[in-house]
Amino acid sequence: MSEEIKGFKIPTAWRIKRYYFFILLTIMALVLPWIEVNGSHFFLLSFDKLKLHLGFVQFDMQELYLLPFLLMMLFLGIFGMTVMGGRVFCGWICPQTIFRVIYRDVIETKLLKLRKRIKNKQLEPDMSIAQNKIKRAVAILLWVVLSFVASANLIWFFVPPEDFFAYMSDPFEHMILLGTLVSSALFLIYDIVFLQEDYCIYVCPYSRIQSVLYDENTVMALYNTNRGGHIYNSDKEKVFTKQKDLQAVEAHAECTACESCVTVCPTHIDIRKGLQLECINCLECVDACTVVMGKLGKPSLVTWSSEYEIIDKKGKTKYFRPKIIAYIVLLIGIAVAMIIMGSKKENMLLNINKENRLYSVHKESDGRVVVENAYEFLLQNTQNKTLNFYFEVILPQGLKGTLEIEKPKDSFDVTPDVKKKKIVVLRTYDKLADDSRHDTIIPITIRAYAVGHEGEIEVLRESTFTYPREDILREAK
């Protein structure tokens, strides 16, 4: 809730807003894997069953043409977000940041009182005190438990919960899954407890590319040197530590040199130095300065704004500039393309391969000559229930004659997610071609369908029927 000090209204802290957003993201991450619609998940990339679930629709691995679209949307979304709002992804969405807040602010500070205040992130607990050692051990133990929960949650987007717990009931029969769970949990323990924000500073590649994406209208946490004064010189060397010294040079300088913005920073930087790779746009420095300056009846010297507006004073920040519009257009275009391609999803999969022998010709007991072509059909039922399948042969328009399905005679059942191989033999008694020198390749269309679901679950595949030349037909007679 906002409060008012000396007539100046202090808005709700960004930190509190981040906490609410973190809770929302955490609930979504934990709940989404459990939600199923007709046996499909919102997002699941199953290497076990070779399936992609997207928007509660299942796609076979042969339909993974959608995955590059998702990756493009992810990267373009993050890049566009950076151009507009700096490292807002790091401060508001990144799991590393959320986990550090849970461990440092919730477990160490609020729950165990190992740290005195959330606002002081520079002062590490005194580990020479026995009581603090016990608290630290308890904090690590709690995080070990949460690390395994977080690791399992991540795995649920690749192995659904219903399979995960079934596999974990006999973990030594699923060593890859067990190893993934344990190794990712160990990484989280090391990362959050020991590596801490050094991951953001030294490991994460995102911080290295952000400066390339920034422009003068990029919104970020900024110290207003026009109001606060210059604490650092052009070489980024600190030249003032007291307000009176600063005001002796810049009489208008409002910075009190309290360094509240420094002590609250999780990545241990001084925002007054200017743009730094370590800044994750958590905006805690904005909150700290807002409170301090609010007590003086003045607005914060550190704001979430752009250099264009705050430093250069060229006017209001231009949010929808050409670069941002280009990102939006690209994202919309990719999303539309993905939706269009996803809407063409086939409800069954069918591959047709012709056997090496071109054809078989023989005379039957009634004196008729029959020509046969054999094929290998590889069919997969992508539905969630067993269905009955059969085929139909479609000849080109204008071609007189018929093709019969000699084998299989009857329709057959196919269970979900199982590739079924069928030898299919097509035959004809009719004269489909009249060529005395060459075999004739006749294009045909195979229509495969689920019996009782014609028009809904069916596919069309192009193939060929080879009809022999005239002398081979004469020999058979």
- pLDDT tens digits, 110-154: 999 998 888 888 888 888 888 999 999 999 999 999 999 999 999
Is residue 281 within 8 A of residue 88, CB to CB? The reply is: yes
> Quick one: tokens of 307?
């250099």
Token pair listed for 332: 């919309």
Evaluate if residue 385 carries a pLDDT over 70. Answer: yes
Name beta bridge partners: 352. 377
Phi/psi of residue 124, nearest 5 degrees: -80, 150
Which domains are present in the chain? 1-34+65-343 (no CATH), 348-476 (2.60.40.10)
Q: How confident is the model at residue 7 (pLDDT cuts 50, 70, 90)?
A: low
What does pLDDT average to over the chain?
A: 89
Beta-ladder partners of 256? none
What's the CA gap between 413 and 389, in Å, rounded? 6
Question: H-helix or E-strand containing 412?
Answer: strand 412-414
For 453-474, what is each residue's pLDDT tens digit? Answer: 887 888 899 999 999 998 888 8
Residue 430 has pLDDT above 60, yes or no: yes
DSSP string, 138-170: HHHHHHHHHHHHHHHHHHTTTS-HHHHHHHHTS
444, 465 Cβ separation under 8 angstroms: yes
Question: Which H or E run includes 80?
Answer: helix 66-85
Local confidence band at 101 (pLDDT 50, 70, 90 cut-offs): very high
Q: Are 234 and 223 spatial neighbours (Cβ–Cβ below 8 Å)?
A: no
Q: Does residue 65 surpass a pLDDT of 80?
A: no
CA–CA distance, 416 with 381 (Å, rounded to integer): 5
The predicted structure's pLDDT at residue 3: 57
Q: How far apart are CA 253 and CA 249, in angstroms?
A: 9
pLDDT at residue 286 greater than cutoff 60: yes
Nearest Cα to Cα of residue 374 among 361, 363, 383: 361
pLDDT grade, residue 8 (50/70/90)? low
Instruction: Answer yes or no: is pLDDT of 384 > 80.
Output: no
Can you tell me the mean pLDDT for 267-281? 88
CA 335 vs CA 56, 65, 67: distances in Å: 16, 13, 12
187 pLDDT higher than 60: yes
Report the C-alpha gap between 29 and 93 in whole angstroms. Answer: 12
What confidence tens digit (pLDDT) does each residue in 316-347 have?
A: 999 889 999 999 999 999 989 888 877 766 67
> Does residue 408 have a cis peptide bond before it, meaning omega lies within 30 degrees of 0?
yes
- The torsion defined by the Cα of 263, 266, 269 and 270, in degrees rounded to 10, comes to -40
Task: Please spell the DSSP secondary structure of 340-394, one letter per residue.
Answer: HHHHT--SEEEEEEE-SS--EEEE-TTS-EEEEEEEEEEEEE-SSS-EEEEEEEE
Please state, in angstroms and rounded to a whole number, the distance separating the CA atoms of residues 142 and 349.
48
- 178 close to 169: Cβ distance less than 8 angstroms: no
Is residue 403 predicted with pLDDT exceeding 80?
yes
User: What are phi and psi for residue 454, nearest 5 degrees?
Assistant: -60, 140
Say how far apart CA 451 and CA 386 lie, in whole Å. 11
If residue 246 lies in a helix (H) or strand (E), which one and from where to where? Answer: helix 243-249
